Structure 1
């Protein structure tokens, strides 16, 4: 018999009335994490952190001499990552990559004010609240920006490039945080299921892809059908690399939409943790954009709230306790302004400016990618990672 976390009981009943199979699948995944990696994370949990980080980094960076000294179980897992899924088609990514670089400023706006905010309406917000990661929202936003830039960089998802490496790094981090939360007295297993569950990640990747396209169009981006399918293909492979089981990883736009719709029905209403994380995200936008002037900071924050409310709707915005600003004409005015600016600049200059802007608000550490992971469930007590 399938276990139903108590927080999902009411939503599950509603979702089942809409699509029984999809609802069953979502709830089943609330008690699943990463079946392949989680047992390895547990087996290696007593290893000295510096050694574990070094071996994970060696595996991702293909440093064979170092990796040969790693435990066999980790070496076998790393080797399994080299086998691509049978459906992988790198050529299918090209239209989406072109579309991303033509629309990156608008996609970024949609990502931050729509996609990420909406994602925190689920119980995933609990993990951020318990770990205290809300306090590092600026860096998280920068990391999100970098990940998106790297998976949409030409060739970025090839084994040797940063899109692949970052997606795989995220998989290891999710597994580590899942392990820490699983042992925490604050995590309520009976109510919430598995920390950072496959259900929440399957929901998230559907939002990152399908909803990103929808929100980007609303703020002025333009895509043809081939480009839409390609953007979905890029995110699907990134989700696969992040360890999302294929049993809840969409294959088509219609599946992504259904996963989003049913997941949202299964989730309980947003609570105070979702409110805190969602507002922290919006309020971090000026610092990520390096806006320090108090007046300009206030204007940008206000615009972000209005755009977010216009995208995610009044009901969810009210649940998040966003300011009750009128959004009448907000998206229309924003779209018109963007199109005028693009017409005046020309396509090539727009793409150059977009790339430069994204580089500035993404985090690129001086010493390259770090493969350190948290060593304490509380962010404030963990070594830097």
Structure 2
């Protein structure tokens, strides 16, 4: 067991030993299939390797006739849709997300991502600099994946949600390969970079925890919509390489995994503090606020909402500025509830509002040629690698 997990594991094992055992065991595991693919690609010309990746994600098996058998096998395996996937069942979750996209993105940025970076996954992102130095770009990429997987058809084989999920898996495998060779990485303390445990924790957070945090902002969904929302994320998590024994099947399972994983994880490190605060201060730039005074005002508002959602204990550990959050979430819920009533009374206003929300989502997401690139990192440190 990585030494950083010893104390947390002892506490978690007192609650659910079986899951705690699986979680800490997974801190020593990456993604065996994707890691083997990266090892294979290292033996070939980088131009050929990059071409196989792009064609594998964009094309069909015939596009890889000149690729090694192991490369063809990887994409053939990921092309196979698990029997539990019900694509028609994704639609209620897609509609629910885009009906409430502003609140979902708010909960994602102000709480779920922050809580994710309070774990040791922060060590990977801090060493590479892919959040610290490129926070605006990375946040836009996260937003884009949210948009794409929740578009109808987004997780079809030809959909951008499918392609981006696989891209995330391969980029993580490449960074894992690079960090394993980096002297800054302390394997005995932290385990495997971007481990299977952290991938499972992240997708459980992006699904079950996101529903919980969005509800704190006033989002209400039917049981059918909640189940559908979780199934969208379950398939995306599968595509991102989350191992079967840590892949949630329901909202309750995702929340339980988040709870046990959070208990196993050590307290936030200095890297967590840097990433969390950097993320909040990047959010106004993503939203288009470039004037210093307006940026500071919006960042302070996000800090207040974030503290109200994640709680004072974690906020204090992350060195948030002190502030009174009493009534913060209640006012947001009241505002959101009043808007929903208004849109039911005046459907045309609701339609315009949804169109505006979708346009905003596109604005705060990374699109364009660079955003769709399948180029894999060549260096562990982002400043040596250029934009991804």
The residue number in structure 2 matching 1:103 is 100
Structure 2 CA distance for partners of 1:5 and 1:288, relative to 1, 3 Å: same
Q: Cα offset for 1:65?
A: 6.1
The residue number in structure 2 matching 1:130 is 127
1:341-363, CA deviations, whole angstroms, 9 ceiling, x for partnerless residues?
Answer: 45455321221111111011111
The yes-or-no answer on 1:176 pairing with 2:174 is yes
The residue number in structure 2 matching 1:365 is 368
Find 1:278's aligned residue among 276, 284, 296: 276
1:91-134, CA deviations, whole angstroms, 9 ceiling, x for partnerless residues?
Answer: 22111011011100100000000110100011000001111111
**Count of aligned pairs between the two proteins:** 382
1:304-332, CA deviations, whole angstroms, 9 ceiling, x for partnerless residues?
Answer: 00010011110110111011111100111
Do the aligned residues in 1 keep the contact of 2:61 with 2:72 (CA within 8 Å)?
no
The residue number in structure 2 matching 1:378 is 381
Higher mean C-alpha displacement, 215-224 vs 10-19: 215-224
The residue number in structure 2 matching 1:291 is 289
The residue number in structure 2 matching 1:253 is 251
* Correspondences of 1:1-385 after superposition (within 5 Å): 4-62=1-59, 66-133=63-130, 134-344=132-342, 346-366=349-369, 369-385=372-388
Do the aligned residues in 1 keep the contact of 2:104 with 2:214 (CA within 8 Å)?
yes
Q: Structure 2, unaligned stretches of length 5 or more?
A: 344-348
2:242 match: secondary structure = coil
For 1:9 and 1:367, how far apart are their aligned partners in 2?
41
For 2:277 and 2:316, how far apart are their aligned partners in 1?
12
Q: Structure 1, unaligned stretches of length 5 or more?
A: none
State the Cα RMSD in Å.
1.4
Do the aligned residues in 2 keep the contact of 1:34 with 1:243 (CA within 8 Å)?
yes
Higher mean C-alpha displacement, 76-85 vs 231-240: 76-85
Do the aligned residues in 1 keep the contact of 2:141 with 2:371 (CA within 8 Å)?
no
For 1:121 and 1:50, how far apart are their aligned partners in 2?
37
TM-score (norm 2): 0.95
Do the aligned residues in 2 keep the contact of 1:102 with 1:350 (CA within 8 Å)?
no
1:187 match: secondary structure = coil
